[in-house]
Amino acid sequence: MIGLSLVLAAALSSAQTSEIGSIVQKAMASQHLTGVEIGIGRNGTLLYSAGYGLRNRASHLPVTPDTVFEIGSITKQFTAAGVMLLVQRGRVDLDAPIARYLPDVPHAKEITVRQLLDQTSGLDDYLEDKTLYASLVDATVKPHPISYYVNLVANKPLQFRPGTKWAYSNTNYAILGMLAAKMSGQSYEAYMQSAILDPQHLNDTEFLATAPPKGANASEGYDYVKNRFVTLPKYDMSWANAAGALASNAQNLIRWDGAFFSGDVLNARGVQTAITPPPGITALVKKDERNNIAQGYAFGWMAGQDEGRRLIWHNGGTLGARSMNLVFPSDGLEIIVLTNQSTASPESIALKIARLLYGS
């Protein structure tokens, strides 16, 4: 087994951990993956953490349970929690038009804070801009403020009347990052550090100005093109901002899940609001019915079902990384899958592990 490093608590049997390793190894072979990190917890208590494969192909460095990966849009649940803290403190009204706080963002008078959080605003996604997307790994591109990316959709009409449909848009969360900064009186990164990362002791979770993450145990990013692995160059991450610029490891994300669902981050009412999608608005994101686990989008979390079990989750993707954070609220089971490859399917790995642990 190439590059396996693990930490194991007694809560999983040796047969289970062996089968988890088999699931990961088969996925690495079929998906042509370089490295995978797995974390399994229950109510924030780590049960299993393991690294498979390599975090750096050139130096043949293994993934360990401490390796830091880009986590992409899992960032959105952190951003949403930061905004909800401002709601709890009476600084932000969920149902106020965003114009009350940020009058210059596109369609500010038509869209509420809640509609940004649950992705029902109708705003276009700035990452659909072909010129921008083509430039993301251009090392000569200079960083831009969040407002630059938001304004890429300024002249585009809304896709639908706000609050009537769902459409995933990074623009929504870029605006929420601007809101958090405005209403906290700090930069977005400083506010999130002081309000969430530091209080929850998420010491291996960081905001990236550039990718890949820095540090001796950070993972490089890879793609798999024309039957060969391609190392992605260092690139600016300002385009990801509040929508996807975090990096972390599986152990920190297990801790995050436990803190969030236990009410250590938000109060109980805030947690329920953040994981409850708007009624009557579906959010289907997969054509494969077996892995189509999305039913609705809440505040940085998706709600769904798998084999009759309720789950709350979000995935993430950047150039050179794909990730999955999967929580079963009925018993607190948490499954984290981090990869350092653009072509990975961490969702399928997480679901196979869940089905194994539930014996189905």
Whether the pLDDT of residue 130 is over 90: the answer is: no
Q: Nearest 5°: CA angle at 216, between 214 and 218? A: 55
Q: What is the pLDDT of residue 181?
A: 98
pTM as predicted? 0.94
Inter-residue long-range contacts of 276-282, CB under 8 Å, 24+ positions, other chains counted: 276/303, 277/118, 277/302, 277/303, 278/118, 278/120, 278/163, 281/118, 281/120, 281/164, 281/165, 281/166, 282/166
- Alpha carbon separation from 224 to 26, 230, 341 (Å, rounded): 17, 6, 8
Q: Which of 120-134, 195-209, 235-249 has the lowest mean pLDDT?
A: 120-134
Tell me the pLDDT band of 144, cut-offs 50, 70 and 90: very high
Percent of the chain with pLDDT over 90: 86
Nearest to 262 by CA among 251, 250, 277, 275: 275
Whether the pLDDT of residue 8 is over 50: the answer is: no
Q: What is the pLDDT of residue 2?
A: 44
* pLDDT tens-digit series, residues 279-291: 999 886 655 555 5
Q: What is the pLDDT of residue 287?
A: 52
Nearest to 114 by CA among 264, 267, 277: 277
Mean pLDDT of 61-82: 98
Contact between 191 and 199 (Cβ < 8 Å): no
DSSP 241: H
Q: Which residues contact 131 (CB under 8 A, 6 or more apart)?
A: none
Mean pLDDT of 8-31: 88
Rounded to the nearest integer, the mean pLDDT of the chain is 93
DSSP 194: I
Q: What is the pLDDT of residue 295?
A: 85
Whether the pLDDT of residue 3 is over 50: the answer is: no
More confident position, 101 or 282: 101
Distance CA 329, CA 264 (A): 16
Q: Which of 126-135, 217-226, 262-271, 281-290 has the lowest mean pLDDT?
A: 281-290
- Alpha carbon separation from 274 to 78, 79, 200, 240 (Å, rounded): 11, 11, 18, 22
Handedness of CA 162, 167, 168, 171 (dihedral sign): negative
Peptide bond into 97 cis (omega under 30): no
More confident position, 3 or 84: 84
Distance CA 18, CA 250 (A): 19
- Alpha carbon separation from 140 to 12, 136, 230, 231 (Å, rounded): 48, 10, 19, 17
Bridge partner residues of 229 (DSSP): 224
Nearest to 62 by CA among 184, 217, 191: 217
